[in-house]
Amino acid sequence: MVAAGNSGVGVRMEGAVITEWKDIPMELLLRIVPLVNDRTAIVASGVCCGWRDAICFGLTQLSLSWCRKNMNNLVLSLAPKFTRLQTLILRQEYPQLEDNAVEAIANFCHDIQALDLSKSFKLSDHSLYALARGCPNITKLNISGCTSFSDGALEYLTNFCQKLKILNLCGCVKAATDRALQAIGRNCKMLQSLNLGWCDNVGDIGVMSLAYGCPDLKCLDLCGCVRITDDSVIALADKCLHLRSLDLYYCRNITDRAMYSLAHSRVNNKPSLWQSMKGRYDEEGLR
pLDDT one-digit tens code per residue, 116-150: 999 999 999 999 999 999 999 999 999 999 999 99
Give the strand pairing for 2-4 and 11-13. antiparallel
Question: Among 188, 142, 184, which Cα is nearest to 167's?
Answer: 142
From residue 230, how far is each of 26, 36, 254, 258, 280 by CA, in Å? 60, 51, 5, 5, 15
pTM: 0.84
CA distance 211 to 218: 11
Length of the chain measured in residues: 287
For the chain, domain boundaries: 1-59, 60-286
**Which residue spans within 129-256 are E strands per DSSP?**
140-142, 166-168, 193-195, 219-221, 245-247
pLDDT one-digit tens code per residue, 23-80: 667 676 667 667 666 777 787 676 667 677 767 777 899 999 999 999 999 999 999 9
Mean pLDDT, residues 181-209 taken together: 99
Query: Does residue 224 sit in helix, strand or coil?
Result: coil
CA distance 76 to 223: 36
From residue 281, how far is each of 12, 168, 200, 251, 274 by CA, in Å? 69, 26, 20, 10, 18
End-to-end CA distance of the chain: 65
Amino acid at 213: G
Mean pLDDT, residues 163-179 taken together: 99
**167 bridge partner residues:** 141, 194
The CATH fold assigned to 60-286 is 3.80.10
CA atoms within 13 Å, Cβ hemisphere of 274: 20
